[in-house]
Every structure is written in structure tokens, then in C-alpha cells.
Amino acid sequence: MNAEIITVGTELISGKTLDQHSQYLSRECYSLGIPVYYHTSVGDNDKHLYDVIQQASLRSQLVFICGGLGPTDDDLSKEILARFLQEELVQDSEVLAHLAKFFAKRSGSIPPNNFKQTYVFKNGVVFQNQHGTAPGLAVTKNNVTYILLPGPPKELQPMFETSVRPFLMQLLSNQSVIVLRDLAFFGIGESRLEEVLYDLIQNQSNPQIATYALDAGVILRLTAFATDQEEAQRLITPLEKEIFRRVGNYCYSTKNESLEEVVFQSLNQQKKTVAFAESCTGGLTTHLLTIVPGSSKVLKGGLICYTNEIKSSLVKVPEEILETHGAVSFQTAKWLAENTREQFASDFALSITGVAGPESVENKPVGMVWIGLAEEGKTTRVYQLDLHGSRRRIQLMAAKYALFILQQRLKKGEPKK
């Protein structure tokens, strides 16, 4: 079985909005062992969409159609598919009840335009929409299965998780359960990770292994097909163990958490607080941690000391240190971290000072970054990084490395498993 994805909307082909569904659904299909061969975007145009669906029916056994399920006149995906398949649409009482409830919370009664959303394929399957009004639909004809999904990402993705993936598992029928495990890595590049795990990636078919690059870091996705959860675990556990034996140091999460969330949880569990002194990152490191709700429990704050004047006046780095070694140095990173920890009376403090570019500073190359980690009653550790890429890239990687260094430290603090 191979699939293709059709996204519908004039806003896509006019360049107003970026299609992100095709990437999301391709990854999910790949995890299910279903290859995707084509992505197509087409406008809210009767004829164009009809032609695209017709063509898909000739070359794919699974066809996703995203968008065009809304209440307005130019939302035509369902109607055009019904016409193409010569399949009847009937009103669904469950969807009708859902819409009544949905609008009761808001305007009161169902707006006239929305009634078309209560019509579904007579011989099809309905996926209830927990986050909007348009249900998802599936219908199979001539050995091709068509899956219609609502356009808004906040509706499409939960619907896929809760309803579509199980539906596809049944369709694949040869498997009864699938278990996904996403291992999140930082500090090791995608290519290096594939190199170290080459034999596993090549020889594994079940569990399957795939890598996906993040803005900073890499996801390693393990996908196990099995008859039950237990068997899936039996398949995943030894593979995961072997992966951890080789590159475990670089793995910060196995539960779809961001690095920031992991740092927050570790600090929170260990009842520790942190503060930051940021130079080249200009506040990004601290901000990343504040993206996590409740971060005020562990974060005291930070000092953005962008000039040497502020480094000495507010963070109290001795001027001779700045004169002798410069702002981008082991010594300055050390002082920044220690003084910040004292001023904020926090358990940990990290400092980030470096050259983000495009110009070199103090004859130090672009990408040179020093990170200090100060801790009450412990010797301050200082790490040197040699980063590459644009100014923004260097700032992001420096900030993430600071959080990763803290996470590594907190990991050690936990009891060995």
C-alpha cells in the first residue's frame, strides 16, 4: 500500500500559508510502514481538485485530502470526492449532536452554513472532531481508501493520533498494535548519529529506525509492529538498550519532551533553582526555560550583560579579568557564573559568553563560546564550544548547549537506575 497527500486551499497555492500537513502525515505514514510518493497542493477549485483526486485514485491505494471541509461555499473537498466516487452523503446524527453541543457553548444554535458539515459518506467511517466542527471521514472504493481531514493543524493532528492511526492499523490488518518511541538527542549531529547506529538502522525492519532533525538536536524514532503491547515492548527494549549503550549520553528524552521541559522537570524534582548570565545569547537561554509553564518555580532570573561595562558594573567581573583575558574567555565565563549565582542566590548559575558573529571579537573566531556552570559548594566548571553557522544559529546552539550542560549535571544528580 502506498499513499499520497493532497492539501486543499487557495491560500496554499497563492503562498499565503505554508503547508505543514504533508510533512506531518508523511512522517506518520512512514512510521506505519506506508510509503508516500506524492504531495499535491491545489486551490479551492472544483475542476482542479476533481482532476487531482482522479489522478491520485490511479496511482495510490491511500489518499489523504486535507482541508476544504469548512462551512463556506468554497469548501468542496467532501462534495467533490462524493461526486467522483458516486457515493452518497447522509446526515450523521452523532455529528449533528456534536455541532449542537459545540455551538451551544458559543453563539447558541448551529449556523445554517455549518449543517453541511453534518453530512458524511453513507458507506464510510467518521472521525469525530474534538477541537472543531468538521468531522474527519474515510471511504473506500475500488481498493482505494480516501481519508478527509480538517485543515486546521490543531484539529488534524489530534484527530490523527486518536482516530486515524488506529484506523490505518486496522487497514494494514497484518499488525494489531504499533508502538512509537521517540528518542531526543542533543550534542550529536544527525549524520554522526546515523553513522554510529548504521548497522542497526540498516538491519532493523521491526522495530524500524528513522531520524528527524530538530531546530537543535535530532529525534530517533523507533517503530515496533506487534500483536500486542507486550510483544512491542519486547521488540523495542533490547534495541533501545543497545542505542543507549552507544549514544545514551546524548539522549535527553524518551517522552516527546523538549530540552527545556526536561531541565525544568529535573530542577523541580530536585527542588533546585537556576539563574543565567547571558552575553552573546542576549537572553535566549533564560527565555527558552520560561516557555515551560510553571518555570518560575525553578528560575530566579538572569542578567543580560551585553557590554563589558555591564559585565563589570552589574555582574562584578573584575576589570583586570576583562582586560587580561577578554569577555570571551574561560575566566570571564567563570566569574559571570559565580557572581550571578551569588546575586540571585540560586543553586545553579550558567553563563554564556561568545562570538555570535558575523565579525570576530577580541581576535577570537566567530563561533567560539564559553559556558560556565557554577554550583553552590562546588568548583565552577567551564566548557568551550566551537559552533558554526549564522549568527542566529550560533545563538540558538549556545543557548541549547547551556541547557544541555545543566541537564547532564542534573541527570548525574539522580539515583542510578
Instruction: Give the N- to C-terminal CA distance of the chain in Å, as an integer.
Output: 42
What is the residue-wise DSSP string for 66-109? Answer: ES--SSSTT--HHHHHHHHHT--EEE-HHHHHHHHHHHHTTTSS
Among 100, 101, 213, 241, binds a copy of itself (CB under 8 A): 213
Q: Answer whether 334's CB lies under 8 Å from 376's CB.
A: no
Which residue type sits at 415? P
Residue 60 or 118: the one with the smaller Cβ distance to a copy of itself is 60
Among 1, 33, 50, 55, binds a copy of itself (CB under 8 A): 55
CB-nearer residue toward a copy of itself: 152 or 282: 282
- 296 in contact with a copy of itself (CB under 8 A): yes
308 vs 380, which CB is nearer to a copy of itself?
A: 308
Angle at 11 between CA 69 and CA 134, to 5 degrees: 15
Among 141, 364, 391, 393, binds a copy of itself (CB under 8 A): 391
356 near a copy of itself (CB under 8 A): yes
Stretch that binds a copy of itself, among 96-104, 110-118, 318-326, 356-364 (CB under 8 A): 356-364
**The one segment of 13-21, 168-176, 232-240, 381-389 that binds a copy of itself by CB under 8 A:** 13-21
Which of the stretches 131-139, 175-183, 228-236, 293-301 binds a copy of itself when contact is defined by CB under 8 A?
A: 293-301
- x-or-dash string of contact with a copy of itself, 316-355, rule CB under 8 A: ---------------------------xx-----------
Nearest distance in Å: CB 349, a copy of itself: 12
- Sole residue written with cell 449542537: 100
**Among 86, 245, 271, 358, contact with a copy of itself (rule: CB under 8 A):** 358
Whether 61 contacts 143, CB under 8 Å: yes
> Which residue(s) pair with 222 in the sheet?
181, 209
What is the residue-wise DSSP string for 165-210?
HHHHHHHH-S-SEEEEEEEEE-SS-HHHHHHHTHHHHHH-SSSEEE
Q: What are the Cα distances from residue 388, in Å, to 10, 356, 397?
A: 39, 9, 9
What is the spatial distance between Cα 149 and Cα 407, in angstroms, rounded to a whole number? 39
* Binding site residues, a copy of itself, CB under 8 A: 12-20, 22-30, 36-43, 45, 48, 52, 55, 212-213, 276, 278, 280-287, 289-291, 293, 295-296, 299-307, 309-310, 314, 343-344, 356-359, 391-392, 395
